[in-house]
Homo-oligomer: A and B are copies of this chain.
Amino acid sequence: MLTDCTKSTATNNNSDLTSALMQLCASRYYIAHGEFHSNSIQRGRSCGYGPLGVDLKSNIVDQWWISVMRSRAQVFGISTLQSARDKEGVRLVDNSAIEQTVSNNELTKEQIKTRLQHVLQRSVSFRTSLLKGALEQFAPSLELVNKKLPFGLAETGVCHGPAAENADSIDWLPEFTESSLVWFCTPRTSSQWLDYWSRQRLQWWRKFALGPSDFNCCDATDEELQSGASRGVKILYRFPWGTETLETLHNLGSTELLNSHRGSRTKLHCKDGRNSVVPHVISVSGNIDRGVLAYLFNSLQWLKKVDNKQKLHQRQVLKLHPTLSPVKVAVDVGRGSTMELRQVCEGLLQEFLEAGISAWPGYLDTTHSSLELMHSKYDEMGVLFTVMISENTLENGLLSIRSRDTTIRETMHISEVKTFLLKFISAAANV
Protein backbone atom coordinates (compact mmCIF):
# COMPACT_ATOMS: atom_id res chain seq x y z
CA MET A 1 0.00 0.00 0.00
CA LEU A 2 1.44 3.35 -0.99
CA THR A 3 1.10 5.92 1.75
CA ASP A 4 3.12 8.88 0.66
CA CYS A 5 4.41 10.14 -2.59
CA THR A 6 6.32 13.35 -1.95
CA LYS A 7 9.98 14.04 -2.41
CA SER A 8 11.37 13.40 1.01
CA THR A 9 13.48 16.52 1.26
CA ALA A 10 12.61 16.39 4.93
CA THR A 11 14.12 13.00 5.63
CA ASN A 12 17.09 13.26 3.31
CA ASN A 13 19.42 16.16 3.22
CA ASN A 14 20.68 17.48 -0.08
CA SER A 15 24.02 15.79 -0.22
CA ASP A 16 22.39 12.45 0.57
CA LEU A 17 19.98 13.03 -2.27
CA THR A 18 22.81 13.78 -4.65
CA SER A 19 24.86 10.77 -3.70
CA ALA A 20 21.79 8.49 -3.78
CA LEU A 21 20.96 9.59 -7.32
CA MET A 22 24.55 9.29 -8.47
CA GLN A 23 24.72 5.77 -7.07
CA LEU A 24 21.46 4.87 -8.75
CA CYS A 25 22.70 6.28 -12.08
CA ALA A 26 25.83 4.16 -11.91
CA SER A 27 24.13 0.95 -10.81
CA ARG A 28 21.20 1.37 -13.20
CA TYR A 29 23.26 1.89 -16.39
CA TYR A 30 22.75 5.65 -16.77
CA ILE A 31 26.32 6.73 -16.31
CA ALA A 32 29.52 4.71 -16.58
CA HIS A 33 30.97 3.39 -13.35
CA GLY A 34 33.54 5.53 -11.56
CA GLU A 35 33.81 8.62 -9.39
CA PHE A 36 35.17 10.51 -12.39
CA HIS A 37 32.00 10.24 -14.45
CA SER A 38 29.78 11.17 -11.55
CA ASN A 39 31.85 14.30 -10.82
CA SER A 40 31.96 15.16 -14.45
CA ILE A 41 28.22 15.22 -15.03
CA GLN A 42 27.58 17.09 -11.80
CA ARG A 43 29.73 19.89 -13.17
CA GLY A 44 27.67 20.11 -16.35
CA ARG A 45 30.11 18.13 -18.43
CA SER A 46 29.73 15.07 -20.52
CA CYS A 47 30.63 11.76 -18.98
CA GLY A 48 30.76 8.15 -19.98
CA TYR A 49 27.14 7.05 -20.34
CA GLY A 50 25.77 3.57 -19.96
CA PRO A 51 23.06 2.09 -22.22
CA LEU A 52 20.23 3.95 -20.47
CA GLY A 53 22.10 7.23 -20.31
CA VAL A 54 22.83 7.03 -24.04
CA ASP A 55 19.13 6.64 -24.79
CA LEU A 56 17.98 9.31 -22.34
CA LYS A 57 20.43 11.81 -23.82
CA SER A 58 19.50 10.92 -27.37
CA ASN A 59 15.78 11.22 -26.54
CA ILE A 60 16.42 14.71 -25.17
CA VAL A 61 18.42 15.68 -28.26
CA ASP A 62 15.66 14.30 -30.54
CA GLN A 63 13.00 16.28 -28.69
CA TRP A 64 15.11 19.40 -28.92
CA TRP A 65 15.37 18.99 -32.69
CA ILE A 66 11.68 18.30 -33.02
CA SER A 67 10.86 21.40 -31.01
CA VAL A 68 13.08 23.79 -32.95
CA MET A 69 12.43 22.30 -36.38
CA ARG A 70 8.69 22.01 -36.00
CA SER A 71 7.99 25.20 -34.13
CA ARG A 72 8.98 27.30 -37.12
CA ALA A 73 9.48 26.25 -40.70
CA GLN A 74 12.50 28.50 -41.12
CA VAL A 75 15.01 26.51 -39.09
CA PHE A 76 17.74 24.62 -40.92
CA GLY A 77 20.15 22.10 -39.42
CA ILE A 78 23.88 22.51 -39.88
CA SER A 79 26.94 20.64 -38.73
CA THR A 80 30.32 22.25 -38.25
CA LEU A 81 33.73 20.85 -37.35
CA GLN A 82 34.93 20.60 -33.78
CA SER A 83 38.41 21.83 -34.49
CA ALA A 84 39.87 24.43 -36.77
CA ARG A 85 42.94 26.57 -37.19
CA ASP A 86 41.80 29.67 -35.51
CA LYS A 87 42.35 32.11 -32.77
CA GLU A 88 39.32 31.37 -30.65
CA GLY A 89 38.50 28.35 -28.54
CA VAL A 90 40.75 26.00 -26.61
CA ARG A 91 44.11 26.03 -28.37
CA LEU A 92 46.19 22.90 -28.42
CA VAL A 93 49.39 21.82 -30.10
CA ASP A 94 50.70 18.46 -31.17
CA ASN A 95 52.85 16.71 -28.56
CA SER A 96 55.28 15.19 -30.97
CA ALA A 97 56.63 18.49 -32.28
CA ILE A 98 57.33 19.63 -28.73
CA GLU A 99 58.86 16.28 -27.83
CA GLN A 100 61.24 16.51 -30.77
CA THR A 101 62.32 19.95 -29.70
CA VAL A 102 62.91 18.91 -26.10
CA SER A 103 64.82 15.77 -26.96
CA ASN A 104 67.18 17.53 -29.37
CA ASN A 105 70.21 18.37 -27.20
CA GLU A 106 72.03 20.37 -29.83
CA LEU A 107 69.58 23.22 -29.92
CA THR A 108 70.40 26.52 -28.25
CA LYS A 109 67.91 28.31 -26.07
CA GLU A 110 67.03 30.67 -28.91
CA GLN A 111 66.59 27.84 -31.37
CA ILE A 112 64.25 26.08 -28.94
CA LYS A 113 62.18 29.22 -28.61
CA THR A 114 61.99 29.77 -32.35
CA ARG A 115 60.88 26.20 -32.88
CA LEU A 116 58.26 26.44 -30.19
CA GLN A 117 56.91 29.64 -31.68
CA HIS A 118 56.66 27.89 -35.01
CA VAL A 119 54.76 24.99 -33.38
CA LEU A 120 52.41 27.41 -31.62
CA GLN A 121 51.54 29.05 -34.91
CA ARG A 122 50.21 25.74 -36.13
CA SER A 123 48.02 25.14 -33.09
CA VAL A 124 44.57 23.67 -33.43
CA SER A 125 41.65 25.25 -31.64
CA PHE A 126 38.65 23.31 -30.39
CA ARG A 127 35.32 25.08 -30.38
CA THR A 128 33.94 26.11 -27.01
CA SER A 129 30.50 26.90 -28.44
CA LEU A 130 28.55 26.37 -31.64
CA LEU A 131 27.76 30.06 -32.15
CA LYS A 132 30.74 30.93 -34.29
CA GLY A 133 30.15 28.08 -36.74
CA ALA A 134 26.56 29.18 -37.23
CA LEU A 135 27.53 32.81 -37.83
CA GLU A 136 29.95 31.66 -40.52
CA GLN A 137 27.14 29.73 -42.20
CA PHE A 138 24.85 32.75 -42.21
CA ALA A 139 25.86 34.22 -45.58
CA PRO A 140 25.75 30.88 -47.50
CA SER A 141 22.31 30.21 -45.99
CA LEU A 142 20.70 33.42 -47.21
CA GLU A 143 19.89 31.81 -50.52
CA LEU A 144 17.72 29.23 -48.74
CA VAL A 145 15.31 31.86 -47.56
CA ASN A 146 15.69 34.35 -50.36
CA LYS A 147 17.18 36.84 -47.86
CA LYS A 148 13.96 36.92 -45.89
CA LEU A 149 14.01 37.18 -42.11
CA PRO A 150 13.53 35.57 -39.66
CA PHE A 151 15.26 32.21 -39.94
CA GLY A 152 17.46 30.05 -37.76
CA LEU A 153 20.41 27.66 -37.93
CA ALA A 154 20.37 24.73 -35.51
CA GLU A 155 23.10 22.37 -34.40
CA THR A 156 23.86 19.94 -31.60
CA GLY A 157 27.39 18.76 -31.00
CA VAL A 158 30.30 18.35 -28.66
CA CYS A 159 32.19 21.43 -27.50
CA HIS A 160 35.25 21.56 -25.32
CA GLY A 161 35.04 23.64 -22.21
CA PRO A 162 37.97 25.75 -21.16
CA ALA A 163 40.55 23.80 -19.18
CA ALA A 164 40.11 24.02 -15.42
CA GLU A 165 41.59 27.10 -13.78
CA ASN A 166 43.72 25.14 -11.43
CA ALA A 167 46.01 23.71 -14.06
CA ASP A 168 47.44 21.08 -11.76
CA SER A 169 44.11 19.43 -11.27
CA ILE A 170 43.14 18.92 -14.89
CA ASP A 171 43.93 15.66 -16.43
CA TRP A 172 41.52 15.92 -19.29
CA LEU A 173 39.84 18.51 -21.43
CA PRO A 174 36.23 18.95 -20.31
CA GLU A 175 33.61 18.28 -23.00
CA PHE A 176 29.87 18.83 -23.18
CA THR A 177 27.12 18.54 -25.75
CA GLU A 178 25.64 21.88 -26.73
CA SER A 179 22.32 22.52 -28.39
CA SER A 180 22.42 25.72 -30.38
CA LEU A 181 19.79 27.68 -32.22
CA VAL A 182 21.06 30.86 -33.82
CA TRP A 183 18.13 32.99 -34.87
CA PHE A 184 18.45 35.83 -37.36
CA CYS A 185 15.77 38.51 -37.30
CA THR A 186 15.21 42.17 -38.08
CA PRO A 187 16.60 44.67 -35.56
CA ARG A 188 13.14 46.01 -34.73
CA THR A 189 11.81 42.53 -33.79
CA SER A 190 14.83 41.12 -31.96
CA SER A 191 13.53 42.00 -28.53
CA GLN A 192 10.20 40.23 -29.15
CA TRP A 193 12.02 37.20 -30.55
CA LEU A 194 14.14 36.95 -27.41
CA ASP A 195 10.93 36.87 -25.39
CA TYR A 196 9.35 34.36 -27.76
CA TRP A 197 12.26 31.92 -27.57
CA SER A 198 12.63 32.34 -23.81
CA ARG A 199 9.01 31.37 -23.32
CA GLN A 200 9.23 28.57 -25.84
CA ARG A 201 12.37 27.10 -24.29
CA LEU A 202 11.10 27.25 -20.71
CA GLN A 203 7.88 25.58 -21.81
CA TRP A 204 9.91 22.86 -23.50
CA TRP A 205 11.97 22.08 -20.40
CA ARG A 206 8.84 22.01 -18.26
CA LYS A 207 6.92 19.83 -20.70
CA PHE A 208 8.97 16.76 -19.73
CA ALA A 209 9.30 17.58 -16.04
CA LEU A 210 7.70 15.77 -13.15
CA GLY A 211 8.14 18.89 -11.03
CA PRO A 212 7.94 21.79 -13.51
CA SER A 213 8.47 24.40 -10.79
CA ASP A 214 12.12 23.37 -10.46
CA PHE A 215 12.68 24.81 -13.94
CA ASN A 216 12.72 28.60 -14.05
CA CYS A 217 14.08 31.53 -15.91
CA CYS A 218 15.54 34.90 -15.05
CA ASP A 219 17.37 37.76 -16.75
CA ALA A 220 21.13 37.57 -16.91
CA THR A 221 22.97 40.23 -14.95
CA ASP A 222 25.25 42.67 -16.76
CA GLU A 223 28.32 40.66 -15.70
CA GLU A 224 26.85 37.45 -17.09
CA LEU A 225 26.06 38.89 -20.51
CA GLN A 226 28.01 37.48 -23.41
CA SER A 227 30.21 40.06 -25.13
CA GLY A 228 28.13 42.24 -27.42
CA ALA A 229 24.81 41.15 -25.92
CA SER A 230 22.23 43.75 -25.00
CA ARG A 231 20.09 41.37 -22.97
CA GLY A 232 20.23 37.79 -21.80
CA VAL A 233 17.87 35.26 -20.27
CA LYS A 234 18.88 32.13 -18.38
CA ILE A 235 16.86 28.97 -17.92
CA LEU A 236 17.70 27.45 -14.58
CA TYR A 237 17.28 24.21 -12.72
CA ARG A 238 17.27 23.90 -8.96
CA PHE A 239 19.69 21.09 -8.15
CA PRO A 240 20.05 19.91 -4.53
CA TRP A 241 23.32 21.86 -4.27
CA GLY A 242 22.00 25.03 -5.87
CA THR A 243 20.72 26.55 -9.05
CA GLU A 244 22.52 25.92 -12.35
CA THR A 245 22.00 27.28 -15.85
CA LEU A 246 20.60 24.83 -18.41
CA GLU A 247 20.24 27.20 -21.30
CA THR A 248 21.09 30.81 -22.10
CA LEU A 249 19.44 33.14 -24.58
CA HIS A 250 21.25 36.27 -25.72
CA ASN A 251 20.25 39.14 -27.93
CA LEU A 252 23.61 39.72 -29.60
CA GLY A 253 22.62 42.57 -31.93
CA SER A 254 24.62 42.56 -35.13
CA THR A 255 28.15 43.02 -33.74
CA GLU A 256 29.16 39.35 -33.58
CA LEU A 257 27.78 38.69 -37.03
CA LEU A 258 29.72 41.60 -38.50
CA ASN A 259 32.87 40.48 -36.70
CA SER A 260 32.60 36.94 -37.98
CA HIS A 261 32.34 38.09 -41.56
CA ARG A 262 35.27 39.04 -43.70
CA GLY A 263 34.56 40.90 -46.90
CA SER A 264 31.78 43.15 -48.02
CA ARG A 265 29.10 44.00 -45.50
CA THR A 266 26.42 44.05 -48.17
CA LYS A 267 26.58 40.25 -48.34
CA LEU A 268 24.98 40.21 -44.92
CA HIS A 269 22.05 42.37 -45.91
CA CYS A 270 18.53 40.99 -45.62
CA LYS A 271 15.10 42.28 -46.42
CA ASP A 272 12.96 43.99 -43.85
CA GLY A 273 9.92 44.97 -45.90
CA ARG A 274 11.40 47.45 -48.38
CA ASN A 275 14.48 48.17 -46.31
CA SER A 276 17.75 46.36 -46.31
CA VAL A 277 19.21 45.53 -42.88
CA VAL A 278 21.99 43.60 -41.20
CA PRO A 279 20.05 41.16 -39.00
CA HIS A 280 20.21 40.90 -35.26
CA VAL A 281 21.21 37.58 -33.76
CA ILE A 282 19.48 35.71 -30.95
CA SER A 283 21.64 32.91 -29.62
CA VAL A 284 19.87 30.08 -27.78
CA SER A 285 22.43 27.74 -26.31
CA GLY A 286 21.76 24.77 -24.02
CA ASN A 287 23.89 22.25 -22.18
CA ILE A 288 22.41 18.81 -22.95
CA ASP A 289 24.52 16.95 -20.39
CA ARG A 290 23.29 19.22 -17.64
CA GLY A 291 19.78 18.72 -19.02
CA VAL A 292 20.18 14.95 -18.65
CA LEU A 293 21.13 15.42 -15.01
CA ALA A 294 18.29 17.88 -14.37
CA TYR A 295 15.70 15.44 -15.66
CA LEU A 296 17.23 12.61 -13.62
CA PHE A 297 17.04 14.65 -10.41
CA ASN A 298 13.61 15.97 -11.29
CA SER A 299 12.15 12.53 -11.85
CA LEU A 300 13.55 10.77 -8.81
CA GLN A 301 10.81 9.97 -6.32
CA TRP A 302 11.12 8.33 -2.94
CA LEU A 303 8.13 6.18 -2.20
CA LYS A 304 7.31 4.77 1.18
CA LYS A 305 5.49 1.53 1.57
CA VAL A 306 4.25 -0.21 4.68
CA ASP A 307 4.17 -3.98 4.33
CA ASN A 308 1.84 -6.51 5.99
CA LYS A 309 4.04 -6.59 9.07
CA GLN A 310 3.80 -2.80 9.45
CA LYS A 311 7.43 -2.46 8.40
CA LEU A 312 8.38 0.66 6.45
CA HIS A 313 10.09 0.22 3.09
CA GLN A 314 11.47 3.05 1.07
CA ARG A 315 12.05 2.73 -2.61
CA GLN A 316 13.22 4.95 -5.44
CA VAL A 317 11.37 5.41 -8.69
CA LEU A 318 12.79 7.29 -11.63
CA LYS A 319 9.58 8.77 -13.01
CA LEU A 320 11.01 10.08 -16.25
CA HIS A 321 8.51 11.41 -18.78
CA PRO A 322 7.34 8.56 -21.04
CA THR A 323 8.84 10.31 -24.07
CA LEU A 324 12.25 10.58 -22.41
CA SER A 325 12.29 7.21 -20.62
CA PRO A 326 15.09 5.21 -22.20
CA VAL A 327 13.29 1.89 -21.72
CA LYS A 328 9.58 1.69 -22.46
CA VAL A 329 9.22 -1.98 -21.61
CA ALA A 330 11.27 -4.67 -19.90
CA VAL A 331 10.70 -8.26 -20.89
CA ASP A 332 11.31 -10.68 -18.02
CA VAL A 333 10.47 -14.22 -16.95
CA GLY A 334 8.95 -15.73 -13.85
CA ARG A 335 10.50 -18.68 -12.04
CA GLY A 336 11.23 -21.82 -13.91
CA SER A 337 13.05 -20.09 -16.73
CA THR A 338 13.22 -22.65 -19.49
CA MET A 339 14.46 -22.56 -23.03
CA GLU A 340 10.87 -22.23 -24.21
CA LEU A 341 10.14 -19.17 -22.07
CA ARG A 342 13.34 -17.56 -23.26
CA GLN A 343 12.30 -18.06 -26.86
CA VAL A 344 8.99 -16.34 -26.20
CA CYS A 345 10.89 -13.45 -24.63
CA GLU A 346 13.22 -13.14 -27.59
CA GLY A 347 10.31 -13.13 -30.02
CA LEU A 348 8.43 -10.50 -28.05
CA LEU A 349 11.52 -8.32 -27.65
CA GLN A 350 12.14 -8.50 -31.38
CA GLU A 351 8.53 -7.49 -32.05
CA PHE A 352 8.92 -4.46 -29.77
CA LEU A 353 12.22 -3.41 -31.30
CA GLU A 354 10.85 -3.69 -34.82
CA ALA A 355 7.95 -1.46 -33.86
CA GLY A 356 10.45 1.10 -32.56
CA ILE A 357 9.63 0.47 -28.90
CA SER A 358 12.77 0.59 -26.82
CA ALA A 359 12.77 -2.69 -24.89
CA TRP A 360 15.04 -4.20 -22.25
CA PRO A 361 16.06 -7.88 -22.35
CA GLY A 362 15.54 -8.50 -18.62
CA TYR A 363 15.38 -12.26 -19.17
CA LEU A 364 19.11 -12.30 -19.94
CA ASP A 365 19.87 -11.62 -16.29
CA THR A 366 18.83 -14.93 -14.79
CA THR A 367 20.00 -14.18 -11.26
CA HIS A 368 17.06 -15.47 -9.30
CA SER A 369 15.54 -12.74 -7.21
CA SER A 370 12.13 -11.96 -5.78
CA LEU A 371 9.45 -10.22 -7.80
CA GLU A 372 9.71 -7.33 -5.35
CA LEU A 373 13.42 -6.85 -6.05
CA MET A 374 12.88 -7.10 -9.75
CA HIS A 375 10.25 -4.36 -9.72
CA SER A 376 12.48 -2.13 -7.58
CA LYS A 377 15.22 -2.58 -10.12
CA TYR A 378 13.00 -1.60 -13.05
CA ASP A 379 11.54 1.34 -11.10
CA GLU A 380 15.05 2.60 -10.47
CA MET A 381 15.78 2.24 -14.17
CA GLY A 382 12.66 4.27 -14.96
CA VAL A 383 11.21 1.44 -17.07
CA LEU A 384 7.60 2.32 -18.00
CA PHE A 385 6.18 -1.19 -18.16
CA THR A 386 7.35 -4.64 -17.17
CA VAL A 387 6.05 -7.62 -19.07
CA MET A 388 6.28 -11.00 -17.29
CA ILE A 389 6.29 -14.17 -19.31
CA SER A 390 5.45 -17.32 -17.35
CA GLU A 391 4.45 -20.94 -17.82
CA ASN A 392 0.96 -19.58 -18.09
CA THR A 393 1.91 -17.65 -21.26
CA LEU A 394 2.88 -20.90 -22.96
CA GLU A 395 -0.52 -22.37 -22.16
CA ASN A 396 -2.96 -19.59 -22.96
CA GLY A 397 -0.93 -16.62 -24.26
CA LEU A 398 -1.62 -14.49 -21.21
CA LEU A 399 1.09 -12.43 -19.57
CA SER A 400 1.22 -9.88 -16.80
CA ILE A 401 2.10 -6.25 -17.46
CA ARG A 402 2.96 -3.83 -14.66
CA SER A 403 3.01 -0.06 -14.87
CA ARG A 404 5.80 1.92 -13.22
CA ASP A 405 3.54 4.85 -12.44
CA THR A 406 0.47 3.09 -11.07
CA THR A 407 2.25 -0.09 -9.88
CA ILE A 408 -0.88 -1.89 -11.06
CA ARG A 409 -0.43 -5.31 -12.60
CA GLU A 410 -2.77 -6.39 -15.36
CA THR A 411 -3.22 -9.53 -17.37
CA MET A 412 -3.09 -9.12 -21.12
CA HIS A 413 -2.90 -11.35 -24.14
CA ILE A 414 0.55 -11.45 -25.71
CA SER A 415 -0.86 -10.33 -29.06
CA GLU A 416 -2.23 -7.09 -27.59
CA VAL A 417 0.86 -5.77 -25.79
CA LYS A 418 2.52 -4.06 -28.73
CA THR A 419 -0.56 -2.06 -29.70
CA PHE A 420 -1.18 -1.13 -26.07
CA LEU A 421 2.37 0.19 -25.68
CA LEU A 422 2.33 2.11 -28.97
CA LYS A 423 -0.91 3.81 -27.99
CA PHE A 424 0.39 4.70 -24.54
CA ILE A 425 3.64 6.15 -25.89
CA SER A 426 1.97 8.24 -28.58
CA ALA A 427 -0.68 9.51 -26.16
CA ALA A 428 2.02 10.55 -23.69
CA ALA A 429 3.95 12.36 -26.43
CA ASN A 430 0.94 14.46 -27.38
CA VAL A 431 0.05 15.68 -23.90
Task: Spell out A's residues near B (CB within 8 Å).
Answer: 29, 32-33, 46-51, 53-55, 57, 69-70, 73-74, 76-85, 90-99, 101-102, 108-109, 112-113, 116-117, 119-120, 122-124, 133, 137, 140, 143-146, 148, 155, 158, 160, 163, 167, 170-173, 175, 346, 349-350, 353-354, 361, 364-367
**A143: nearest residue on chain B (CB-CB)?**
B365
How many monomers of this protein are in the complex?
2
Q: How far is the CB of A263 from chain B (nearest CB, A)?
A: 13
Cα A121 to Cα B25 with chains together (Å):
32
Q: Which B residues touch A102, using CB under 8 A? A: 113, 116-117, 120
Which chain B positions have C-beta within 8 A of A84? 172
* Chain B residue at smallest Cβ distance from A70: B353
Give Cα A145–Cα B94 distance, bound, in whole angstroms: 41
Question: Chain B residues with Cβ under 8 A from A365's Cβ?
Answer: 143-146
Q: B124 touching A364 by the CB < 8 A rule?
A: no
Selected contact of A53 from candidates B70, B79, B83, B120, CB within 8 Å: B79
Whether the Cβ atoms of B146 and A33 lie closer than 8 Å is no
What would be 22 A-B contacts, judged by CB atoms less than 8 Å apart? A29-B144, A32-B80, A46-B81, A47-B81, A50-B78, A50-B137, A51-B78, A54-B155, A73-B361, A73-B364, A81-B175, A83-B173, A85-B172, A92-B93, A94-B167, A98-B98, A98-B116, A98-B119, A98-B120, A102-B117, A116-B116, A145-B364
A148 contact set on B, CB distance < 8 A: 364
Give min CB distance, A22 to chain B, whole Å.
15
Residue pair B55, A77 in contact (C-beta under 8 Å): yes
CB neighbours (8 Å) of A158 from chain B are: 82, 158
Closest 3 CB pairs of A and B: A91-B95, A92-B92, A85-B171
Expressed in whole angstroms, the minimum distance between the Cβ of A381 and any Cβ of chain B is: 11
Give the residues in chain B near A83, CB-CB below 8 Å. Answer: 160, 172-173, 175
Check B146–A364 contact: CB distance below 8 A.
yes
Contacts of A140 in B (CB 8 A): 32-33, 50
Please indicate the chain B residues that have their CB under 8 angstroms from the CB of A145 in the complex. Answer: 364-365
B73:A144 contact, CB within 8 angstroms: no
Residue from the list B48, B95, B366 in contact with A93, Cβ < 8 A: B95
- Nearest CB of chain B from residue A300's CB, rounded to whole Å: 21
Nearest CB of chain B from residue A260's CB, rounded to whole Å: 14
Least Cβ–Cβ distance between A61 and chain B, in angstroms:
10
Contact B94 A94 (CB under 8 A): no
Complex: A354 Cα to B73 Cα, angstroms: 11
Candidate in A29, A54, A77, A137 with the most chain B CB atoms within 10 angstroms: A77
Cα distance, A79 to B120, chains bound together (Å)? 32
A163 & B98 in contact (Cβ 8 Å cutoff): no
For A155, list chain B residues within 8 Å (CB): 54
Chain B residues near A77 (CB-CB < 8 A) = 51, 54-55
Shortest C-beta distance, A275 to chain B (Å), equals 18
